[in-house]
Structure 1
Amino acid sequence: MANARRPSGEARESAIIAAATAIYLESGYAGAKMSEIAKRAGIAEGTLYLYFRNKHALMLGVVAEHWSELTRGAQASLRHQRGYFERVEALARYHLTSMIEKWKLIELGFSIRYQPGIKVGDDLDFKRAYTAVFDELIENGLAVGHIEPGTEIPFMRDQFYGTLEYAARTIMLHGARKPDMDLAIEQLMHTFKRSYAATEIMPAADQVTSLSERLETAIARLEALAGPGEDGA
């Protein structure tokens, strides 16, 4: 019976990660102590080193869990959306919401890059698993004709996540409000569809607007080539 009550290795590791996350957020990476983390996790400090050999390894464990949780949530956000662009929008909303909710942890992730012993790129593998959800969604859109052929996924990814991350920073600076989030998502999706949606599936209103803008651009170029008229205008 005693063995049944003993925490499993997985449960103990989860407790360590939870304790480390809390202390890193409270004290920062440099200020966190392994002894305090062990105490918060309810284990001996020597036991902690059996799971993570140093503070750097433990921080990477925190980062890995953070991105794994985000990846699971991103996958779940797509399950109940039927339309293709509804899934893209669901992923965008999930990412923006997560950025705001996990802002302190994300800031911590940025700050540790400049700490001794941390190499830029240590967390890239964890991020790749997360962004693979977006890549797979776009690859599917290309395969079935929702996304314009020849679209470069890396550029789309940078635009998608870059827009959302800057939106999150702006919202956090001014206080998170749902109307701001809704507007950011709406503008991103408008740009996304106009830039990448296959022409034949673009909504009629968007097609008309796109054609109008192309005509205006063409007229402006012709006027520039023609130069000023007889009245000097």
Structure 2
Amino acid sequence: MSGAQREKHEAILDSAFEIFGQKGFYETKISDITEHAGIAKGTMYLYFKSKEELFIAVTRRDWETFLRNLSYRVKQADGLLPKLRQVAEHHLEYYYERKSHGKIFFHAPNNDSELMKMMHGFLTRYMAIVKDVLEEAGMPDPDFYAKAFIGMLDRLKMDILFEGEFTREELELRVDQTVRLFLRGSERELN
């Protein structure tokens, strides 16, 4: 792909992310995306054969960026607490930064087998990063605890996406509370 083609490809993905995020997959028309990108409809089909293929490309790019940035942040931290804090912060910031594009997560083509396979791969890789952090710290049953930690964060993402007034200060508070609860349990909070 030439530089101009790569730029056009990225412009299409950026526009698709915007429109899918605001309208959802089913409500988005290809013409919405091409208009937003400032290209002809036929040009879009030179890069993507279908709306489903475009959605998968947008999602793949977003998830690859998520995993690459998470790996970097975890490698920069030293010790269990700072690493878990990086995971929690990254997870919640990801959704906080995309809260005006929530429909991309909930209005997706859920019957697309390629998307489901890609989602499984993403979750497996995400889980492996957290599991490695826990294994490195000597935590027993790191697979279970990785699922539990990500599950806690996933529940909080719902607050971010559905509570319009969720603030950055609240995000920071939730990061601290989640890491503390995960590591120490609720016993300390009750005493």
TM range (shorter): 0.7 to 0.9
How far is the alpha carbon of 1:14 from its aligned partner?
1.1
1:137 aligns with 2:133: yes
Q: How does 1:188-207 map to 2 (within 5 A)?
A: 188-194=178-184
Shift of the 174–105 alpha-carbon distance from structure 1 to 2, 3 Å rule, reads closer
Deviations 1:153-180 (A, max 9, x none): 1x22221121112223235526223443
Opposite residue 104 of structure 2, the aligned amino acid is: L
Determine which of 131, 139, 159 is the counterpart of 1:170: 159
- CA deviation profile, 1:18-50 (whole Å, cap 9, x unmatched): 011112233332222223322332333222112
1:170–1:35 CA distance, 2 compared to 1 (3 A):
closer
User: How do 1:73-152 and structure 2 match up within 5 A?
Assistant: 73-114=69-110, 118-119=112-113, 121-122=116-117, 123-139=119-135, 141=136, 146-149=137-140, 151-152=141-142
Q: Determine the structure 2 residue equivalent to 1:184.
A: 174
Distance verdict in 2 for CA 1:39–1:182, change over 3 Å: closer
Decide which of 39, 43, 57 is 1:61's aligned counterpart: 57
Fraction of identical pairs, as percent? 23
When structure 1 is superposed on structure 2, of 165-174 and 53-62 the one drifting more is 165-174
Larger Rg: 1
Cross-structure match for 1:220: none
Give the CA deviation at 1:92: 0.9
Alpha-carbon RMSD? 2.8
Provide closer, same or farther for how the CA distance between residues 104 and 177 of structure 1 changes in structure 2, counting only shifts above 3 A.
Answer: closer
- The range that moved more, 117-126 or 68-77, is 117-126
2:145 to 138, 143, 156: 156
SS in 1 for 2:77: coil
Give the Cα separation in 2 of the matches to 1:187 and 1:27.
Answer: 33
Cα gap change, 1:110/1:13 in structure 2, threshold over 3 Å: closer, same or farther?
same
Q: 1:87 to 1:113 in 2, by over 3 A?
A: same
Structure 1 stretches (4+) deviating beyond 4 angstroms? none
Select the structure with the greater relative contact order (CA < 8 A; seq sep ≥ 6).
2
CA contact (8 A) 1:99 1:165 kept: no
Q: 1:178 to 1:45 in 2, by over 3 A?
A: closer
- Contact 2:134–2:146 (Cα < 8 Å) also in 1: no
Question: Which residue does 1:225 correspond to in 2?
Answer: none
Task: Report the TM-score, using the length of structure 2 for normalisation.
Answer: 0.79
Q: Tell whether the 8 Å contact from 1:96 to 1:164 is kept in structure 2 after alignment.
A: yes
Q: Taking structure 1 as reference, are residues 36 and 118 closer, same or farther at Cα in structure 2, changes over 3 Å only?
A: same
Gaps of 5+ in 2: none
Contact 2:12 2:33 in 1 (8 A): yes
Contact 1:163–1:188 (8 Å) recurs in 2: yes
Q: Contact 2:16–2:33 at 8 Å: present in 1 too? A: yes
